[in-house]
Amino acid sequence: MMQNGAPSSNADHTTTFNDLPAAMLVNIFTRLPVKTLIRSTSVCKTWYSNITKPTFISAHIQHSLSCSNQNAVLFVPNNIMRHKYCSLVSADTGNVLEKYKIPFKTKNGSLQLCGCLNGLLCLNAIEEDPNVDVEYQDLYLWNPRVRKYRSLFSSCFKKRGFCLYALGMGVYEPTFDTRIVRIVYPADDGGYACRKVPPKAEIYSLKRNTWRRIKDPGVPLLGYHSGITVGNNMVYWLNTRMSRDFNEQAWLLSFDFNTEMFGSIKLPDEVRYCLGVKANFNLLKFEGKLAVFVLNERKETNGTISQPCGIWLMSHEEGKISWNLIFKIVLKEHMWPLNVSRGGTLLQVSYASSNRSLFFCNLVSEDLQQSKPLVTEPGGFVEAHFMESLLLLEGKDELLKSAVSCSGYF
């Protein structure tokens, strides 16, 4: 009401979005999908600053973990000259949920998935040229959701000729810095690991965009290229070796990104021999913990081949490691386990024909069902823990050509 031209003391006050408490704003933003948040960065400088803060990105990742599709899996082709897209597929229906165009090309047109963590993929080319130095081998970090990537063509270690290496992804939790550890060792003229030179290790920091040498890692030779990340800061590799008495030993190599320390864990006999001495092993992640998949072949009375398997879950509490057999199932012939989704679906690949077919197995009902949309030509990788995130949102696609602030030569 107006009296003598003066505004009323009870005039309405319009509340804007920015008048909300900061904690409430963060709570609202963390519930938005990545696509909406990217658009929101264009609204104003304040929103851009808040959305691109590391603390907010970390909070958004935690919320995405709790509400993302538990049975969505990512298929990554290994021939990117013929297939230029990664596909996010439902393990429940087999339907393609989204496609992401691969934004880079490798020298030989091949691609290999080395790790996936918090929406970031670690990819490299399947190198066939024995004269390519490790620092010039194709290696990428890519976030398909924000369409940004980094090319990491560099190394602290330089040597002419081919160098074998193993990779692992993790997070340095005090600063939420995504990092990659790379174990490097030279090969002899025959392409085998040179035992005269001890392996060395280096670590890449996403925040600093550089490689740094890890002094005296004391790591053994590894036969498996990619590690399994558990709980953000731990990565594990599985390896087997023959002892002097010709008995095969199976063990795990671990790396802690918080302490930058390597460790080793020997698989107990009850895990290794639960299906016989000729069993095969594969590392998986199940319910946020490390799992060992033990697989063997068995000839049935009707002449068919079945594959009994056991899944052992590792628990690490109060400094003590224990193993629990959580599942015993039987796979069909020519199957190999690839991964387990967050929803508990076991993904397997069939090698029964030239075309690789993916199968899903419900670990509770043991009901196998083929997903026809995922029948592909040979080659490809399946990631069962992909999720959307804002990592790499800030900045342009970058090429790392030199290893700054590090030294060391073979």
Residues with Cβ within 8 Å of 22's Cβ and at least 6 positions away in sequence, in order, are: none
Which pLDDT band holds residue 127 (cuts at 50, 70, 90)? low
- Residues 21-37: tens digit of each pLDDT: 778 888 888 999 999 99
CB-based burial, 12-25: b 16+ in 10 Å, e otherwise: eeeeeeeeeeeeeb
Return phi, psi of residue 388, to 5°. Answer: -85, 145
Q: Which H helix or E strand runs over 22?
A: helix 22-29
Residue 354 domain-assigned (yes or no): no
Structure tokens at 256: 């802690």
Mean pLDDT for the stretch of residues 256-273: 90
Domain check: are 141 and 211 in the same one?
A: yes
Domain check: are 139 and 224 in the same one?
A: yes
Residue 80 domain-assigned (yes or no): no
Which pLDDT band holds residue 364 (cuts at 50, 70, 90)? low
Least confident of 24-33, 244-253, 317-326: 244-253
Structure tokens at 75: 């298929």
- Closest residue by Cα to residue 147 from 396, 402, 406, 404: 396
3-state secondary structure at position 334? coil
Q: What pLDDT is stored for residue 177 in this prediction? A: 94
Mean pLDDT for the stretch of residues 223-248: 75
Chosen domain end from 51, 69, 93: 51
Residue 315 domain-assigned (yes or no): no
Residue 200 domain-assigned (yes or no): yes
Domain check: are 138 and 23 in the same one?
A: no
Which pLDDT band holds residue 372 (cuts at 50, 70, 90)? very low
Domain check: are 252 and 170 in the same one?
A: yes
375 alpha-carbon distance from chain centroid: 23
Tell how strand 289-295 and strand 280-286 pair up: antiparallel
- The full DSSP string for 265-319 is EEPPHHHHTSS-TT-EEEEEEETTEEEEEEE--EE-TTS-EEEEEEEEEEEEETT
- Residues 166-188: tens digit of each pLDDT: 899 999 999 999 999 998 877 66
Per the CB < 8 A criterion, the answer to whether 211 and 230 are in contact is no
Domain check: are 236 and 171 in the same one?
A: yes
Domain check: are 256 and 128 in the same one?
A: yes
Question: Could you give the CA distance from residue 272 to residue 14 in angstroms, rounded to a whole number?
Answer: 68
Which pLDDT band holds residue 245 (cuts at 50, 70, 90)? very low
Residue 270 domain-assigned (yes or no): no
Which pLDDT band holds residue 246 (cuts at 50, 70, 90)? very low
Q: How many domains does the chain have?
A: 2
**Does pLDDT of 4 surpass 60?**
no
pTM (two decimals)? 0.85
- Residues 276-287: tens digit of each pLDDT: 777 888 899 988
Domain check: are 41 and 164 in the same one?
A: no
State the chain's mean pLDDT as an integer.
Answer: 80
Which single residue is written with the structure tokens 């691109």?
A: 52
Per the CB < 8 A criterion, the answer to whether 179 and 169 are in contact is yes
Domain check: are 243 and 116 in the same one?
A: yes
Structure tokens at 128: 């066939």
Secondary structure string (H, E, C) spanning 340-391: ECCCCEEEEEECCCCCEEEEEEECCCCCEEECHHHCECCCCEEECCCCCCCC
Please return the burial class of 398, using the count of CB atoms within 10 Å of its CB with bins 0-12, 13-18 and 19+. Answer: middle
**Does pLDDT of 190 surpass 80?**
no
Domain check: are 244 and 166 in the same one?
A: yes
Domain check: are 29 and 114 in the same one?
A: no
Greater confidence (291 vs 301) lies with 291
Residue 88 domain-assigned (yes or no): no
Residue 75 domain-assigned (yes or no): no
Domain check: are 399 and 253 in the same one?
A: yes
**Does pLDDT of 399 surpass 80?**
no
Q: What pLDDT is stored for residue 202 in this prediction? A: 93
- Residues 329-356: tens digit of each pLDDT: 888 777 888 888 888 888 888 776 566 6
Domain check: are 253 and 113 in the same one?
A: yes
Residue 278 domain-assigned (yes or no): no
Question: Could you give the CA distance from residue 214 to residue 218 in angstroms, rounded to a whole number?
Answer: 10
Find the domain containing 37 and state its range.
17-51
Q: What pLDDT is stored for residue 269 in this prediction? A: 85
